[in-house]
Amino acid sequence: MGWIRIVSAGLIGCVALLQVGHASAQEGTVGPGATLVAGQAESSATVESIDYQALALLYRQGRTALNHDDYVTAEMAADAILDQDPMYADALVLRGQINRARGGQRTAYDHYDAALQVDPDHALAKSYLGQLFLDIGRLDRAKSYMVSLDAQCPFGCGASLLLARAIADFEAGRWVPPMQEAPSNKSTE
């Protein structure tokens, strides 16, 4: 069982993800030469198959590269994912992390925000947004994301623990934004 992506040429911006074998009339139905998306029939649809296992592997490789300060490789992985699925929230968060690490706070914010538009409950996007606000001294905004994460993860989760630790460091005067860290061998283009 896999997922297919239906792209309708006649409906601008209309994309549906359907699980093969479990498509319902509400989600959309692929028939001979037609696609039903949100109740509107369209006859000139194309079907792209997206290998989400391959995208997950690329994402893991990108995270590993980022963790080793190899921003070029991390960026190539994120770009490859987003070329296949521009709505892949984890890749949008990865792009945000790359940009934040390079000092591009505005671009990082835009990527985190885009991830939350795709997945409003994306815990890491919320955590990293909170950390981004700490970078610019906005403890109040960081705490608002902490409140959201606490509601989402009442027993704690990795993302909420990361942000809680960052807030504690900020309040204790130990918070250092990424671009103010000691220099290292970071790849840049």
pLDDT tens per residue across span 34-87: 333 333 334 343 446 899 999 999 999 999 999 999 999 999 999 999 999 999
One-letter identity of residue 84: Q
Q: What domains lie within the chain, and their CATH numbers? A: 3-49 (no CATH), 53-180 (1.25.40.10)
Contact 97, 66 (CB under 8 A): yes
pLDDT tens per residue across span 159-181: 999 999 999 999 999 999 886 54
pLDDT value of position 180: 56
pLDDT value of position 13: 33
pLDDT value of position 43: 37
pLDDT value of position 101: 94
pLDDT value of position 135: 95
Better-predicted residue by pLDDT, 8 or 128: 128
Q: How far apart are CA 80 and CA 84, in angstroms?
A: 7
Give how far Cα 139 sits from Cα of 14, 108, 156, Å.
38, 18, 20
Better-predicted residue by pLDDT, 161 or 31: 161
Residues 6+ positions from 104 with CB-CB distance below 8 Å: none
